Amino acid sequence: MKTKIKILIWAILTSLAVIGLVYQPHKKKAIVLRIAHSLDNTHPLHKSLEFFAKQVETTSHEQIKVYIYPNSQLGSDRETIEQLQSGVIPMSVCSCGPLESFIPQMQIFGVPYLFRNKEHMLKTLNSKIGDELLASGEEYGLKGLCFFDAGARSFYTKNIPIHCPEDLKGLKIRVMKTNMSIQTVKALRSSPTPIDFGELYTALQQGVVDGAENNPPSFYTSMHYELCKFYCLDEHQRIPDMLLISSVFWSKLSKEQQQIISNAAQKCVLFQYKLWSQKEISALQKVQDAGVKVIEPDKRPFIEAVQPLWHSFHNTWTGDMITKIQAVK
């Protein structure tokens, strides 16, 4: 009898184990966050987004999955911003330059020599001013999560070294397709030529433009140093990148999910700052090793040349914001 009972108990337990293996409660479907950007997968920005993705996935116990699409795979900056507004793409990282066409307040970052140096810029971005600017896109369907350091934009040219604004006279310089970028280069006496970044190498190669302007890591990773052998560190603009999330997408998330994403963005900022600083130093060294002459000009003539542009903002929102930023110590 005992043997029969044992066999019966074993049979019941085995059946329950099999049922347990077959029946699994339905797992909650993971939320998918796709992030688009225009740079390559060796760029500090991409590495920082990988850090962000790991933070989000770990903290959410993989209930939020993050996929990153570099090299403009999902479209140009303008196209991805438009897709963010409609909720087609959940997230993107974009320079605040092109963003001025969608969020008027982003124009402030294009003001040449707005920031005294890197420390002044980072202090401003991490102040109430930075919070105000991050929030300014919400009425346009674009929620800012954080700013990334994108260094200082400086001129690089194929054949003519730039020591002062006069050296830029008559040169065709590629700029971003933004009003402030165009006005800045005009103020510095050259001819602005808006071209998509992905098309710039060919434009330089074919002589469509004589040069361009960007930060050291982008100058290096784009391979533009192969064609442009002069890099003038005039540092005329410090335009940060912004991590954006679609307001349409954001509104569908729970408070807990929103907090996970926000916290990961803040941790990512500190990681990006460190990575960016290292990359700036190494990029400058690598372009010099490749035969590029790096010029450190007197910045005063450049600053003086853009003063009429500053004066044009008198009694405007931009003018008031310039005053506030200049007051940051």
- CATH topology of 31-150+240-285 equal to that of 153-238+290-326? yes
- Output the CA torsion 303→304→306→310 (10° steps): 100
Domain ranges of the chain: 31-150+240-285, 153-238+290-326
Write the class of the CATH domain 153-238+290-326.
alpha beta
Spatial CB neighbours of 188, under 8 Å, sequence gap ≥ 6: 112, 165, 168, 236, 302, 305, 306
pLDDT digits (tens, 9 = 90+) for 151-164: 999 999 999 999 99
Task: Indicate the pTM of the whole model.
Answer: 0.85
CA distances from 245 to 104, 119, 134, 146, 191 (A): 18, 27, 11, 10, 35
Round to whole Å and give the CA distance between 192 and 212. Answer: 9
* Parallel/antiparallel/unpaired status of strands 211-214 and 191-194: unpaired
pLDDT digits (tens, 9 = 90+) for 141-189: 999 999 999 999 999 999 999 999 999 999 999 999 889 999 999 999 8
**Averaged pLDDT of the chain:** 90
pLDDT band at 77 (very low <50, low <70, confident <90, very high): confident
DSSP assignment of 208-252:
S-SEEEE-HHHHHHTTGGGT--EEEEEEEE---EEEEEEHHHHTT
Percent of the chain with pLDDT over 70: 92
pLDDT digits (tens, 9 = 90+) for 267-300: 999 999 999 999 999 999 999 999 999 999 999 9
Question: Where are any strands of DSSP class E within the chain?
Answer: 31-36, 64-69, 91-95, 142-148, 153-157, 172-175, 191-194, 211-214, 230-237, 241-246, 293-295
Tell me the two tokens of residue 324. Answer: 């506030």
pLDDT digits (tens, 9 = 90+) for 199-244: 999 999 999 999 999 999 999 989 999 999 999 999 999 999 999 9
- The confidence score (pLDDT) of residue 27 equals 58
Span 31-150+240-285 CATH architecture: 3-Layer(aba) Sandwich (3.40)
